[in-house]
Structure 1
Amino acid sequence: MDRHLPTSRNFWVFGYGSLMWRPGFDFEERQPAWLYGYHRCLCVRSTVYRGTPEHPGLVMGLDRGGSARGIAFRIAPAQIAQTLAYLDEREQVTKVYCPKVFRVRLDDGRAVRAYTFVARHDHEQYAGKLTPDQAACYIAQGHGQMGSSLEYVENTCRHLQKIGISDLALKDVLRRARKMANPPRPPDPS
Structure 2
Amino acid sequence: MQEERMVLWVFGYGSIVWNPGFDFDEKIIGYIKDYRRVFDLACIDHRGTPENPARTCTLEAKEGAVCWGAAYCVRGIEREKAAMQYLERRECEYDLKSYVDFYKEGYDLKPTLTGVVVFTSTNNKESNKYYIGPAPLEEMARQIATANGPCGNNRDYLFLLEKAMFDIGHEDDHVIELANEVRKVLGRLKEKKITVVPPHIPLIPLVQPLMQLVPLPETTIVDSR
Give the gaps of 5 or more residues in structure 1. 1-5
Aligned to 1:185, what secondary structure does the other structure show? helix
CA distance in 1, matches of 2:80, 2:106: 23
Give the RMSD, CA atoms, in angstroms: 2.0
- The question of 1:64 aligning with 2:66 is answered no
Which structure would you say has the larger Rg? 2
Match of 1:167 among 145, 162, 172: 172
Aligned pairs for 1:6-25 within 5 A = 7=5, 9-25=6-22
- The question of 1:89 aligning with 2:89 is answered yes
CA distance in 2, matches of 1:37, 1:168: 16
Letter in 2 for 1:111: L
- The question of 1:47 aligning with 2:44 is answered yes
- The question of 1:185 aligning with 2:187 is answered no
Aligned to 1:166, what secondary structure does the other structure show? coil
CA contact (8 A) 1:106 1:112 kept: no
Partner residue in 2 for 1:73: 72
CA contact (8 A) 1:72 1:106 kept: no
Letter in 1 for 2:73: R
**Higher relative contact order (Cα pairs below 8 Å, separated by 6+ residues):** 1
Letter in 2 for 1:101: Y
CA distance in 2, matches of 1:172, 1:164: 17
- The question of 1:148 aligning with 2:153 is answered yes
Judging by fraction of residues, say which structure has more strand. 1
Letter in 1 for 2:103: R
Question: CA 1:185–1:120 in 2, change beyond 3 Å: closer, same or farther?
Answer: same
Question: CA 1:151–1:38 in 2, change beyond 3 Å: closer, same or farther?
Answer: same
- The question of 1:106 aligning with 2:76 is answered no
Letter in 1 for 2:171: S
CA distance in 2, matches of 1:91, 1:189: 44
CA distance in 2, matches of 1:96, 1:16: 13
Question: CA 1:188–1:167 in 2, change beyond 3 Å: closer, same or farther?
Answer: same
Q: CA deviation at 1:67?
A: 2.0
CA contact (8 A) 2:99 2:114 kept: no
Q: CA deviation at 1:170?
A: 1.8
CA contact (8 A) 2:39 2:58 kept: yes
TM-score when scaled to structure 2? 0.74
Match of 1:34 among 12, 31, 34: 31
CA deviations 1:139-163 (Å, max 9, x no partner) are 0121112111100000000001111
CA deviations 1:20-57 (Å, max 9, x no partner) are 11101111110011111211111111111111111111
CA deviations 1:98-146 (Å, max 9, x no partner) are 1111111134742332111112223222122222112102101211121
